[in-house]
Structure 1
Amino acid sequence: MGEQSMRVGVAAITVAAVALTLAGCTGKTTGETPPRAGTSPGFTPGAPGAGDPYFPTYGNGGYDVAGYDLKLKYDPASGRLQGTATVSATATQDLSSLNFDLAHLTTSRVTVDGQAATAKADKNELVVTPAAGIAKGRAFTVVVEYGGVPKALVNPALGEGGWMRTKDGGFAVGQPESASTWFPVNDHPRDKATLKLAMTVPDGVEAISNGVPGPRETADGWTTWTWTEAKPMASYLATVVIGQYRVQSTTHAGKPMVVAVPESLPKDGPAAKSLALTGEVADFLATKFGPYPFDSYGGVVIDDPRVGFALETQSRPVYGDVFFRSRPDATVVAHELAHQWYGDSVAITRWQDIWLNEGFATYAEWLWQEHQGERTVEQSFERVYRGFNWEVPTGDPGANRIFGDAVYQRGSMLVHALRRTIGDGPFFALLQSWPTEHRDGNVTTEQFIAAAEKASGKDLDAFFQGWLLGKTQQPKP
């Protein structure tokens, strides 16, 4: 997410998904005849909750998604979204039924491997019962035809997130959950998957999403925009932004660079000038974190009072215009681009470990500010350290405080304290080896501690115990 001070009370909410690692999946059947669901011993429903320590009822179990292929149409005049989602997955148990997260939308037809399936809505869950049981380890494909008027979900502590309608379109953005408001999904970082989107909108309306842009086709007053994110992505990082936008498509380092700014904002205003620095900031961060991990670059600005934050949507961060109202500012750009390494390519396994995302992204702000000659990293550390409230632990802030100072600012102080403790050589080597070794995967705090100890050759248990879980001021290393 963007700078923490802009996020409190505006962040999105959460639904979670499966607690399983990504498995390759072709979506093809094996040719074998599976047992009938409900008649064969051992075939049971997938769990209706993923068991995340902070959000245990969110998400689903029993399968692992490899990819989502969405063919959708959105009418800004009516606010209606409709289309088809094709979900390629692999069973991780003998499944008699499985759940998807799907909020406020209605299904009209569901098939599993081409055979009609029973589908039942249960609040914000879609329960799918295939004609036959799906054996553990078997690849399968679910096709869901659905539609309705999407809308956001609201969490009393974290705010609203997901689909939000605008006068000229709409957008889907939010953390830790938003995808379930516009397609059937396992909405948890542990179940990363690829995304293909073909979004059809009225001619003259833009539709921007993640990944590499594809060809656009126009017919009968409608234009279909296509996007492909071929690298595994946590579902909360999926976005689509629809409306009146100035879209600039170029290349950077041999990869597509797509930035979009609303027509409601000045053509050469602070927002446009800030996004124009995307390539420069990404190149600087690559000197710290290693090669940029995705196939495209970019960013999108949203001019809407409901978006007082920025989100690291994969390969194309989304920024509320609140960051750019007075002058160009690449600090938030550095934060969201740092997430492309820390949080996107390398995603957390449980929401409790969100400091692994936000601590490093905030530290990237400090590095960028030092690079720009604004203040040194040491000065940034001292400014936060003085007078900080240490009562909330970084490593276990609680579900309602995952976007608080303990995660962002104390998390960044932890990163700098680690640098002081192990020295610049091992520290900057770790900054690159961590995202390289875990690229496209999921991690835990325990894994990071082990990596830091390996890089430094030091026992860091006491250091991390204090900085992650201590509730009093930690001594400066």
Structure 2
Amino acid sequence: MSRSAPVVPAAALLTVALALTLTSCTGGGGEAGAARGSAGLRDPYFPRLGNGGYDASHYALTLDYDPEADASLRGTAVITARATRDLASFNLDLKGLDVEAVAVDGVTARWKRAGQELTVTPERGLDDGETFRTTVRYSGTPETLTDPDGSREGWLPTADGALALGEPAGSMAWFPGNHHPSDKAAYDLTVTVPEGLRAVSNGELTGESTRDGRTTFSWRTAEPMASYVATLAIGEFEIRRSTVGGRSTRLPVYVAVDPSQVEESRAVLGRIPEVVRWAEGNFGPYPFSSTGAIVDRPGDSAYALETQNRPVFPGAPDLSLLVHELAHQWYGDSVTPKSWRDMWLNEGFATYAEWLWEEDHGGDSAQEVFDALYEGDHFADAASNEAVWDFPPARPPSAARISDSPVYERGAMVLHKVREAVGDDAFFELIRGWAAAHRHGNADTADFTAYAEKFAEEAAPGADLTPVWDDWLYGDGKPPLA
């Protein structure tokens, strides 16, 4: 993710108020001795997000949306998952929208609602290790959600359609699921909209057909994806297709641009292949089967987001922002945090990628950017320069601050101190190895520090990373320079 202003990041975070009203329908019960899956994964900042007792592997979403006909969304979600314990019931995250029917393996199931929780009780209990499919039919007007820092996510109406953004939990505003970054899955998305509009999502476009004034688009994301980087953009778009050569053999580039942004964005989006090739040289092979971008109108959202395969931008991005969001495809989308406490592993890496790009293309070196931040000369105002030291990047004080400046700038400074400690050659080998070791998986801060220490023992004998972790990653205040 990136910020709507150069100083303070507009995060995509969420506090959900739990409603007290329960809605239920009839059905059967679970097997004796089975348990209820937990209604949250106890994330340090969003404890109600996600659900325990199962691991989702695939979402098949079929949606129908007409922005001019009461802006109502009709959907069917088929969620394939594997039980990780004996289950009498389990939960899905779904905010708003009306549930019409729920079935498990084709058999009608009981369900009830409480705030964002949809509790499903299948006719029979599920055994540990069993694969099952849950079908939820739903409809209604999707909600725009407000994060703890005041930014907006979920379903964002636009002048010609809608834009769905999900960090950290906005995706539950438009489909039910296990909406925590630790549970990644493949996706098939089929969306029907009025003829003349387009529906753009993650992955590859596998089908497009028009009938009776309605056009259906089918998208497939085969690589595992966290729900917070799933997106759907509905509206009028100019489509540009190209490929990336070099290390990635004919990697498809699919770009969707609002007509009002076509000319302004043409030059910078034309550099996507160049940026991807450069990033592969630093971070390793591109982790997905396509790349690109979605550019909507300024004001449709207040921030850019690293939605998988093709980041979303509110208006034409500058080159630095493009580099930032494409770097997230490695760090954030492929290597995804285990919890929202680990945001610096996303934003620190993507911010440092901006520094590396400048260093390699005639701008300030990473050392010069580091020095300017340390000396308080990086930002135009003193308050912003001081904000870098508000808290350690691995310990944000609240959900409202997990995308504040320390997570971005000081997170990047942590990486620069690692680079100083191990040397350039070892550092770039380290960050490439980190991306490869956790490709399409999840990792937390402890995983990173353990990986870096083990790597340093072999590749940079004598390098001491303990002061980096103690002073720069976990330490309070402004660390002294060694």
Q: What TM-score do the two structures reach when normalised by structure 2? A: 0.90
Check the 8 A contact 2:15/2:146 in 1, yes or no: no
Secondary structure of 2:372's partner? helix
Check the 8 A contact 1:190/1:347 in 2, yes or no: yes
**1:448 matched residue in structure 2:** 448
Check the 8 A contact 1:261/1:272 in 2, yes or no: no
Cα distance in structure 2, aligned partners of 1:301 and 1:174: 16
Shift of 1:223: 0.7
Choose which of 127, 152, 170 in structure 2 pairs with 1:178: 170
Cα distance in structure 2, aligned partners of 1:175 and 1:470: 27
Shift of 1:158: 4.4
Cα distance in structure 1, aligned partners of 2:269 and 2:166: 20
Distance 1:376 1:10, change over 3 A: closer
Check the 8 A contact 1:152/1:161 in 2, yes or no: yes
Q: Percent identity?
A: 43
Check the 8 A contact 2:10/2:149 in 1, yes or no: no
Cα distance in structure 2, aligned partners of 1:3 and 1:370: 22
**2:263 matched residue in structure 1:** 268
Higher alpha-carbon deviation: 292-301 or 382-391: 382-391
**1:305 matched residue in structure 2:** 299
**1:336 matched residue in structure 2:** 325
**1:169 matched residue in structure 2:** 161
Q: For the aligned residues, what is the CA RMSD?
A: 1.7
**1:33 matched residue in structure 2:** none
**1:356 matched residue in structure 2:** 345
Q: What TM-score do the two structures reach when normalised by structure 1? A: 0.91
Distance 1:237 1:449, change over 3 A: same
**1:403 matched residue in structure 2:** 403
Q: Which runs of 4+ in 1 moved over 3 A?
A: 3-10, 36-39
Cα distance in structure 1, aligned partners of 2:3 and 2:323: 10
Amino acid at match of 2:470: Q
**1:22 matched residue in structure 2:** none
Matches within 5 A, 1:3-402: 3=3, 5-6=5-6, 8=8, 10-14=10-14, 37-41=29-33, 43-77=34-68, 78-253=70-245, 254-265=250-261, 267-269=262-264, 271-321=265-315, 324=317, 329-387=318-376, 388-389=385-386, 390-398=389-397, 399-402=399-402
Cα distance in structure 1, aligned partners of 2:76 and 2:7: 33
Amino acid at match of 1:468: L
**2:435 matched residue in structure 1:** 435
Check the 8 A contact 2:146/2:152 in 1, yes or no: yes
Distance 1:4 1:423, change over 3 A: farther
Cα distance in structure 1, aligned partners of 2:66 and 2:55: 32
Check the 8 A contact 2:67/2:160 in 1, yes or no: yes
Structure 2: unaligned runs, 5 residues or longer = 17-27, 377-384, 458-462
Distance 1:15 1:180, change over 3 A: farther
Cα displacement string for residues 186-214 of structure 1 (whole angstroms, at most 9, x for unaligned residues): 11110011111111111110111001111
Cα distance in structure 2, aligned partners of 1:172 and 1:6: 24
Distance 1:162 1:7, change over 3 A: farther
Amino acid at match of 2:447: Q
Cα distance in structure 1, aligned partners of 2:416 and 2:36: 46
Amino acid at match of 1:393: P
Cα displacement string for residues 55-78 of structure 1 (whole angstroms, at most 9, x for unaligned residues): 112221111100101111111112
Distance 1:39 1:419, change over 3 A: closer
Distance 1:174 1:39, change over 3 A: closer
Distance 1:173 1:107, change over 3 A: same
Number of matched residues?
A: 450
Secondary structure of 1:170's partner? strand
